[in-house]
Structure 1
C-alpha cells in the first residue's frame, strides 16, 4: 500500500498593483496544473491563504484557453476549496507532508513577510515533508528560517520568476522587489532556463521550485516522484 500524504496548497489574497488598474491574484494554472499531478493519486489536499476565504484569480490567467484550468475550475470540490480557503492561522502543520506555494503577482505582497507561513513551512520541512513553490510563490520561501536559525534557501538550488520575465511582462516597475535579485541576496543558488517562459525546475532534496507558470506541472510531477518513488 502506498502511504497517503496530504498537501497544503497556499494561495495569495492580494489583488492590487500600485499603479496598474488590472487586478492580480492567483495565476490559476499554477494551482490546477500542480494539482492535476496529485489528483492522479487521489491525494487529499487543502487550499489555504493568509486571510482565508475566497482566493482571487488573476483575470489574465482565466483568459487563456487551458483545458486543465477548465477541468478543475469547474470541479465543485476544487472550486469550493478555492472560494473557501483555510486561514493560515487555522492550519495545523502536522496534518501535511507537502506544502506548495502557488504564484501570481499577488504573492509578492502577502507571502514574504508572513510569520505563520514561515512557521508552517519550517514545521512541515523539519518533519521530513516536501516544500515546493512555483513562479512568484517562491517569494514565500525568502524568509523561512529553520530551528537552528539558518535560512531554508541558503546555499540551496532554487529557481523562480526571473528579472527578464518580469521585464517582458512589463511589471518590473510594479512589484515591491525583483524575485531573482531577492533570492540571490539570500545566498540561494539561483538558476533559470536560457529562454524565458519555458518550463524549468530545480530540485534540492526536499525543496522543489519552478520558474514560471509553465513549470507548475513539472513541480507537481517531481513532488509525486520524490514522495512515492524513492
Structure 2
C-alpha cells in the first residue's frame, strides 16, 4: 500500500450567531490527529467549506485547555500558515482518502450540518468501506448525511459527541444553534457517553469513529491511527 491519505475538515465560522462570543475550531481536535498522522508520514490535507482562514476558538488557547502538543503547533509559523490557508473542500471532491476526519469546535455547528460537499464526501467515503471520523461538535457534520438507500449514515450506529450536559458545563447552552445530543438521537443513533462528563470517550462502530469532546483528542488520534494501520498491514 502507498502512503495513507487523510483529509481533516475544519470550520470557517469564528462567531456565534448572537455576535456575543467568538468561536471556531477547537485547536486540540486538530493538533493531535495532525501530529500523529505526521509522525506516521501520512499525506495530510486540511480543508474547510470556504477554504482560507480557520478561526480558532479562544477558549481552546487558554492555559488550562492548551496541552503541550497544541501549544507546540500553535507556536509554529508553518502550522499557523496552514490554518490561514486551508484548502476549499469543494475543490477536493475527486480526491481519494483513506480517512475523512471532521474536527470540532462550536463553529462547526453553523457550517457543517448543511454542507452538501461534506455530505457527499462522507457518503462516498462510507459506501466505499473507508473510514469516517468526527470529534465533539464535528459529529454535527454527519447528522444529515444520507446513504444511497435514503437512510441516515448514523442511523443504528453507536457513536458519541458533545452532549447537552457538557454544553451546560461549557456555558454555551444559550449560544448554540441546536442541541447536538438530541439531534444525534433523533437520527436513530445510539449515543454513548463518558461515565464522567468532560472526560475522554471514543466509540468505534465499523468504519465510523467518533470522539465525545476536546478531552478525547489524544485518544481519538490514537484510535484512528490504529484503525488505519490495520488496513495498511
Q: TM-score over 0.5 for the alignment?
A: yes
Residue in 1 that maps onto 2:228 = 227
Deviation at 1:87, TM superposition (A): 1.0
Deviation at 1:18, TM superposition (A): 3.1
Does the CA contact (< 8 Å) of 1:102 and 1:137 recur in 2?
Answer: yes
TM-score (norm 1): 0.94
Give secondary structure in 2 for the equivalent of 1:94: coil
- Residue 69 (structure 2) pairs with residue 42 (structure 1): no
Q: Distance in 2 between matches of 1:193 and 1:70?
A: 26
Q: Distance in 2 between matches of 1:3 and 1:74?
A: 31
Are the structure 2 counterparts of residues 78 and 125 from structure 1 closer, same or farther at C-alpha, using a change threshold of 3 Å? farther
Deviation at 1:39, TM superposition (A): 2.0
Give secondary structure in 1 for the equivalent of 2:161: coil
Q: Distance in 2 between matches of 1:183 and 1:121?
A: 16
Residue in 2 that maps onto 1:199 = 200
Give secondary structure in 1 for the equivalent of 2:166: helix
Residue in 1 that maps onto 2:146 = 145
Q: Distance in 2 between matches of 1:37 and 1:142?
A: 27
Give secondary structure in 2 for the equivalent of 1:95: coil
Deviation at 1:210, TM superposition (A): 0.3
Residue in 2 that maps onto 1:124 = 125
- How many residues are paired up? 229
Residue in 1 that maps onto 2:59 = 60
**Once structures 1 and 2 are overlaid, which stretch shifts more, 164-173 or 87-96?**
87-96
Are the structure 2 counterparts of residues 147 and 77 from structure 1 closer, same or farther at C-alpha, using a change threshold of 3 Å? farther
Does the CA contact (< 8 Å) of 2:3 and 2:41 recur in 1?
Answer: no
Deviation at 1:76, TM superposition (A): 4.2
Q: Which runs of 5+ in 2 are unaligned?
A: none
Superposition RMSD in Å: 1.5
Give secondary structure in 1 for the equivalent of 2:95: helix
Does the CA contact (< 8 Å) of 1:94 and 1:123 recur in 2?
Answer: no
Give secondary structure in 1 for the equivalent of 2:7: strand
Give secondary structure in 2 for the equivalent of 1:99: strand
**Once structures 1 and 2 are overlaid, which stretch shifts more, 93-102 or 198-207?**
93-102
- Residue 95 (structure 2) pairs with residue 94 (structure 1): yes
**Once structures 1 and 2 are overlaid, which stretch shifts more, 112-121 or 93-102?**
93-102
Q: Distance in 1 between matches of 2:94 and 2:23?
A: 28
Give secondary structure in 2 for the equivalent of 1:229: helix
**Once structures 1 and 2 are overlaid, which stretch shifts more, 112-121 or 75-84?**
75-84
Deviations 1:16-39 (A, max 9, x none): 223362200001011001222212
Deviations 1:59-112 (A, max 9, x none): 111123421112222334433221111111111353311111111101001100
Residue in 1 that maps onto 2:169 = 168
TM-score (norm 2): 0.93
